[in-house]
Amino acid sequence: MLSDIAHQRSQSLLRQRKVLVVAAAASFLANLALLTALSSRDREVILQPVTTRPLAISSSGVSADYLELVTRDVALMLLNRSPTGLDYWMEQILKVADPSAYGALKAELVKIVTEQRGSDLAQAFVITGMTVDPKGLSSTVEGDLKTFVGGQVIASEKKRFRFGWTYVGLRLSLSSFALTQDHKEALQ
């Protein structure tokens, strides 16, 4: 009789273990499915609006509004400079540079800083138009580039600049920047 009771308890414990193993396996599979679903989902970050339109960036791509605002800020930062803030100017531009283009951009910026340091030469850029291509990750800015010596304007020209961008993860980075000669080149 004691052996029957011991056998029943053993069978009961065995059933409980089997149920526990099945529950643990089901929990593991559910967690694995959730992890897979979360990792393949598009990431999205909601940005505080600085304009009247709400902005969001997503891992699926860059919106035209976001590319326009970043282009505007980088263009104004890049094209407005004076000899007193050259180090800060270069540091801020390099913060938005793509790692693969960092060396080339830094070399160009160092050349500009070396030429302009110690002079009274400054420049200001007023944007008059902009086109953005979120699929091609490029943008074109046109406007008036004014050059100053001291407080006097010595040149004012209409210029067009093309910006190239890379988008990795949720980071939009400057990969290229060039003065374009005509409208056709700006679209390429």
Q: Are 125 and 145 in contact (CB under 8 A)?
A: yes
- pLDDT, one tens digit for every residue, the chain (188 residues): 778 888 888 888 889 999 999 999 999 999 988 888 777 766 666 655 566 666 777 778 888 888 998 999 999 999 999 888 899 999 999 999 999 999 999 999 999 999 888 888 899 999 999 999 999 999 999 999 999 988 888 999 999 999 999 998 888 999 999 999 864 444 34
Sign of the CA dihedral running 50, 73, 185, 142: positive
Instruction: Give the span between the Cα atoms of 18 and 26, in whole angstroms.
Output: 12
Q: Where are the beta strands (DSSP E) in 7-120?
A: 44-47, 55-58
User: 83 burial class (0-12, 13-18, 19+ CB within 10 angstroms)?
Assistant: middle
Rounded to whole angstroms, what are the CA distances from 174 to 54, 59, 93, 164? Answer: 23, 17, 9, 6
Q: Are 177 and 163 in contact (CB under 8 A)?
A: yes
